[in-house]
């Protein structure tokens, strides 16, 4: 039985709705939105004259009035909220601001697998963020140095979708079907509380994290996101040998008297490491956009 044909018009409408949702009025009365959405749909919308060229190096695209109003209407239809009638001038700006849903944040709990006692974090970031933003927030909140490959694994093992940094065909890892995490909004997967996925950091060490959406809450005024609300225990040291190596370090630190030659070297190397230390107030989040520019050679 042939597979049903995918409706590209419906996909384009979804992209317009998401552009409207995370868009804003510009200083000179136009509209713009962050362009981290599927490239093929953005290209089609540009070909139709609805948005500016998404292939330019800036991080946003401009929407004309037709695109803005269409995105607003589609968002209202799909989310069950009425879309206001199009208006213009100052009244139009006030109407659009009133009709736009309140800004929200996604709250996640991150738990590192195969470690006891548990190492975990609770973070919040804007709902319009991408999986790249989530990756950067996880690294900063956990304490990783973002020095290794990573990927998100959605769905079950037999039929999972991978999101990360796609490998080139001629790379040592070979080409793959992973989606670029800067092109995928977190809201496309994390739509309701309880949704979860796996996040793998450092393929050699195999650090697997359970990522669970706990809540979608209103964004607090005058608050910077992402932010870390809570957590427990220090992140394992980079390049310590995965969970088995980490366990060996913790055992040696707990009882240095039984150390042999190899363990004594570990103790010297990780003398300042405290497995129980963690303070959410000391977590510093760095620019995801700057990291992305470095990764993409910008």
* Mean of pLDDT values over 173-180: 66
Among 12-21, 137-146, 236-245, the range scoring the smallest mean pLDDT is 12-21
Helix axes of 8-21 and 39-47: crossing angle, nearest 10 degrees = 90
- Cβ distance 60 to 33 under 8 Å? yes
Question: Which of the residue ranges 11-20, 95-104, 269-278 has the most confident prediction, judged by mean pLDDT?
Answer: 269-278
Percent residues over pLDDT 90 in the chain? 43
Instruction: Give 177-230 as a DSSP string.
Output: -PEEGGGSBGGGT--STT-EEEEEE-TTTTEEEEEEEEEEEEPPTT--SSEEEE
Runs of H (alpha helix) within 6-130: 8-21, 39-47, 65-79, 89-99
d(CA 269, CA 250): 13
Please report, in angstroms and rounded to a whole number, the separation of the first and last CA atoms in the chain: 45
Q: Which CATH architecture has domain 8-99?
A: Orthogonal Bundle (1.10)
Please indicate whether residue 66 or residue 39 has the higher confidence score (pLDDT): 66
Q: Which DSSP state fits 284? A: -
Please indicate whether residue 166 or residue 34 has the higher confidence score (pLDDT): 166
Q: How far is CA 290 from the centre of its chain?
A: 15
* pLDDT band per the 50, 70, 90 thresholds, residue 136: very high
- Residues shown for the chain: 298
- 253 Cβ neighbours under 8 A, 6+ residues apart: 267, 270, 273, 275
* Mean of pLDDT values over 80-103: 50
- Confidence at residue 85, expressed as pLDDT on a 0 to 100 scale: 43
Buried residues in 243-269 as b, exposed as e (16+ CB within 10 A): beebbebbebbeeeeebeeebeebeee
* Mean of pLDDT values over 76-99: 50
* Mean of pLDDT values over 290-297: 86
6 pLDDT higher than 70 = no
- Confidence at residue 88, expressed as pLDDT on a 0 to 100 scale: 44
Q: Which CATH architecture has domain 105-233+278-295?
A: Roll (3.10)
Among 1-10, 64-73, 124-133, 161-170, the range scoring the smallest mean pLDDT is 1-10
pLDDT tens-digit map of 23-34: 655 433 455 665
Provide the pairing of β-strand 31-34 with 60-63. Answer: antiparallel
Domain boundaries, the chain: 8-99, 105-233+278-295
96 pLDDT higher than 50 = no
Q: How many Cα atoms are found within 13 Å in the side-chain-facing hemisphere of 193?
A: 6
d(CA 238, CA 288): 20
d(CA 183, CA 38): 6
- Confidence at residue 149, expressed as pLDDT on a 0 to 100 scale: 93
Percent residues over pLDDT 70 in the chain? 75
- 92 Cβ neighbours under 8 A, 6+ residues apart: 86
208 pLDDT higher than 90 = yes
* Mean of pLDDT values over 105-109: 97
Among 111-125, 183-197, 250-264, 282-296, the range scoring the smallest mean pLDDT is 250-264
Q: How many Cα atoms are found within 13 Å in the side-chain-facing hemisphere of 285?
A: 20
Q: How far is CA 199 from CA 20, 152, 181, 206, in A?
A: 29, 4, 12, 10
């Amino acid at each position: 039985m042939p597979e049903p044909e995918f409706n590209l018009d419906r996909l384009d409408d979804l992209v317009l709705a998401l552009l409207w949702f995370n868009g804003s009025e510009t200083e000179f009365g136009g509209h713009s939105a962050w362009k981290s959405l599927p490239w093929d749909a953005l290209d089609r919308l540009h070909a139709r004259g609805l948005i500016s060229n998404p292939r330019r190096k800036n991080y946003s695209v401009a929407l004309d009035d037709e695109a803005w109003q269409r995105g607003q209407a589609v968002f209202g239809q799909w989310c069950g909220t009425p879309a206001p009638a199009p208006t213009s001038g100052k009244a139009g700006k006030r109407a659009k601001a009133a009709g736009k849903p309140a800004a929200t944040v996604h709250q996640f709990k991150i738990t590192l697998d195969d470690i006891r006692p548990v190492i975990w974090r609770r973070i919040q970031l804007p709902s319009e963020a991408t999986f790249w933003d989530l990756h950067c927030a996880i690294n900063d909140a956990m304490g990783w140095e973002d020095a290794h490959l990573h990927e998100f694994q959605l769905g079950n093992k037999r039929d999972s979708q991978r999101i990360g940094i796609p490998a080139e065909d001629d790379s040592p890892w070979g080409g793959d079907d992973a989606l670029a995490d800067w092109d995928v909004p977190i809201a496309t997967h994390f739509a309701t509380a309880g949704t979860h996925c796996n996040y793998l950091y450092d393929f050699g060490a195999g650090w697997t994290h359970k990522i669970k959406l706990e809540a979608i809450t209103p964004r607090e005024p005058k608050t910077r996101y992402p932010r870390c609300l809570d957590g427990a225990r220090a992140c394992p040291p980079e390049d310590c040998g995965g969970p088995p190596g980490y366990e060996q370090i913790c055992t040696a630190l707990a009882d240095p008297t039984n150390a042999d030659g190899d363990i004594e070297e570990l103790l010297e190397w990780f003398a300042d490491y405290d497995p129980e230390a963690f303070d959410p107030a000391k977590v510093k989040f760095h620019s995801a956009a700057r990291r992305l520019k470095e990764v993409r050679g910008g």
